[in-house]
Amino acid sequence: MKRIEVKLSLPVVAPLLDVIKEAADSLSSNLAASNTLVEVEAELRDTWRDELLLSQNEEVKQLLALFDTEFFASGVVAFDSSNAEPIVRACAAVRLRLRERFLLDLKEEVLESGEIELEALEEPSRRAFMCYLFLATIQELIIQHLDSSILEN
């Protein structure tokens, strides 16, 4: 089983964890991507939404679990076949929530390139943007360094 370990800077990452936790809390009862199946009967739509929400919450919980006491002791997070796919999806959900709540004024190209004057952003947007980039980096690490078969399960 392929595994990657990444050493992160605690002073840089610790403040971002507060942003991730806040976004995760706001996702606990709301899907990151809105449910637009208006043609589907309400009971089926609600059941489907509940299942998606349960999965989303479990995946976000796995993301947060990366940053446990061991992380604060070593600064290391690890990705392998047991957590790669859920972590990628959890990062996507949190990034969608950050975009929706703090980054709507930024164009897609700016968000994806990361080319912005951080000083031009107000503090909540600056922290959200840094967190957005951090989560994108985690997704890229997993996709680039783990065997693609891990992500196809």
* Residues 55-93: tens digit of each pLDDT: 999 999 999 999 999 999 999 999 998 999 999 999 999
User: pTM of the full predicted structure?
Assistant: 0.88
Phi-psi region of 15 (alpha: psi -120 to 50; beta: other; left: phi over 0): alpha
Contact (Cβ atoms closer than 8 angstroms) between residue 136 and residue 91: yes
3-state secondary structure of 54: helix
Q: Is the pLDDT of residue 131 over 80?
A: yes
Ordered by start, the domain boundaries in the chain are 3-151
Q: Which residue has the higher pLDDT, 22 or 153?
A: 22
Question: What's the rounded Cα separation, in Å, for the pair 136 and 152?
Answer: 19
Q: Which residue has the higher pLDDT, 43 or 29?
A: 29
Question: What's the rounded Cα separation, in Å, for the pair 45 and 70?
Answer: 40
